[in-house]
Amino acid sequence: MKRVCLIVLDSVGIGALPDAAEFGDAGSHTLGNIYGALGGLELPNLYRMGLGNITDARLTRVDRPTAAYCRLAEATKAKDTTSGHWEMAGVIMDKPFLTYPSGFPRDIMDEFEAAAGTKALGGVAASGTEIIELLGEEHMKTGCPIVYTSADSVFQIAAHEGIIPLKGLYGLCETAFKTVAAKHGIGRVIARPFAGVPGAFYRTENRRDFSVKPIRDTVLNSVSDAGQTVYAIGKIEDIFSGSGITQKDHSKNNRDGVAATLKALGAVQSGLIFTNLVDFDMLYGHRNDVAGYAGALKYFDGRLPEITAALRDDDLLIITADHGCDPTTPSTDHSREYIPMLAYGSHIKPVDLGTRETFADIAATINEYLGLGAWREGKSFLAEILAEDRRMSAKM
């Protein structure tokens, strides 16, 4: 009864991809630039696994890592949450979602307003914190929701919880999802509730994502179709629109996400535990908060021993990311970066897997490890990381 625990540190990139300049991200290196800006990062448990030994990590190296490690490139020409997660689950998109870096055209806004029965403010590309400071007071006076986008393929709707209650905001997002998202190639509609007063607005943790379903079956479908558990934690359920998921815990922050992961490790008998820890991206990357980002990394590092202690002898723990969001650059958007990967378990060899061509190598490895055969995308690295006795038993 094997299990894989896949933990995504949302936006924790490890260096610009060769085509990063095409996305405006030349020089981005989320981990390395934070390390450089602060003169170091105290992450002893991640370093012990080998995080700093990854190619061009720009972090503290160790002599004897305890995990297999590598960096992976994204084959999909994108840098958004959905494409990153889909690719690590085995779906490489031939055509990425559309983005609207200059804001939404008037026809998209008109379609949304007609379907929603209300005027909307904004329609621009903006930082989520900046847009509520700019339009929050007008929103409170008029009751009109705030619409905005980013470098991601997203249609975001912000509303003060005291003006448009959560049920109403989620309803507006469902309307946008049904009427404009798929028609205009938008990957996600995101509810962005906030609270506070003018000059002191703040986003709450009641975010909700409405995503299109994956264009093809993912490893999640492979695992659940085989009668094994797929336990989704954080926004994983939203990213995959529920497809292939058998259990869920919609945790709202890193603390809750770690707690939910530990709970799942104590309950799930076989299959995949898939966790997204969102704080790195949502609270710190998009706000260019270097110290906050570093603090979140340190928090996860401090909880890592609890996670490894909860592993069974035949568990495979994979720690990775989905894109970058370098808080040291002027941009507040995602950055097109390699992602780190650490594979850990009592039967895993600490080997350098180099640089991989696609996030889908993770999916191929998971599918093979859980006894479900080869996956159509990516190359499994399972044979490279399994101890000799485990490789022999896997063949028997």
- Of 155, 181, 210, the residue that ends a domain is 210
Domain tally, the chain: 2
In a domain, 71, yes or no: yes
Question: Using an 8 Å Cβ cutoff, are 74 and 91 in contact?
Answer: no
Distance CA 135, CA 152 (A): 21
- Same domain for 231 and 334, yes or no, is yes
If asked whether residues 249 and 304 sit together in one domain, one would say yes
- On whether both 185 and 66 belong to a single domain, the answer is no
Q: What is the mean pLDDT of residues 267-272?
A: 98
How much is the mean pLDDT over the chain?
Answer: 95
CATH code, domain carrying 168: 3.30.70.1250
Residues 203 and 254 in one domain: no
Domain identity same for 227 and 357: yes
Co-location of 224 and 371 in the same domain = yes
Give the domain-ending residue among 210, 234, 263.
Answer: 210
101: in domain: no
pTM for this model (two decimals): 0.90
Same domain, 336 and 196: no
Same domain, 188 and 287: no
Q: Which residue has the tokens 């919880």?
A: 161
Partnered with residue 344 across adjacent β-strands are 317
Q: What CATH number is associated with residue 293?
A: 3.40.720.10
Does some domain include residue 306?
yes
The verdict on residue 125 lying in a domain is: yes
User: Are 62 and 132 found together in one domain?
Assistant: no
Of 180, 210, 240, the residue that ends a domain is 210
Tell me the mean pLDDT in the region 226-246: 96
pLDDT at 134 over 70: yes
pLDDT value of position 311: 98
Whether 168 maps to a domain, the answer reads: yes
395 has pLDDT over 90: no
Q: What is the DSSP letter of 179?
A: I
* Domain annotation covers residue 98: no
Q: Are residues 301 and 349 in the same domain?
A: yes
Domain check: are 128 and 79 in the same one? no
pLDDT at 183 over 70: yes
Residue 145 resides in a domain: yes
Whether 100 is covered by a domain: the verdict is: no
Amino acid at 362: I
Alpha carbons 51 and 53: distance in angstroms, whole number: 5
Domain residues for the domain of 34 are 3-93+215-395
Mean pLDDT, rounded, for 144-166? 95
Dihedral sign from CA coordinates of 212, 152, 255, 345: positive
Instruction: State how far the Cα of 15 lies from the Cα of 134, in Å rounded to an integer.
Output: 32
Q: How confident is the model at residue 390 (pLDDT cuts 50, 70, 90)?
A: low
pLDDT tens, residue by residue, 77-129: 999 999 999 999 999 999 889 999 899 999 999 999 999 999 999 999 998 88
If asked whether residues 301 and 224 sit together in one domain, one would say yes
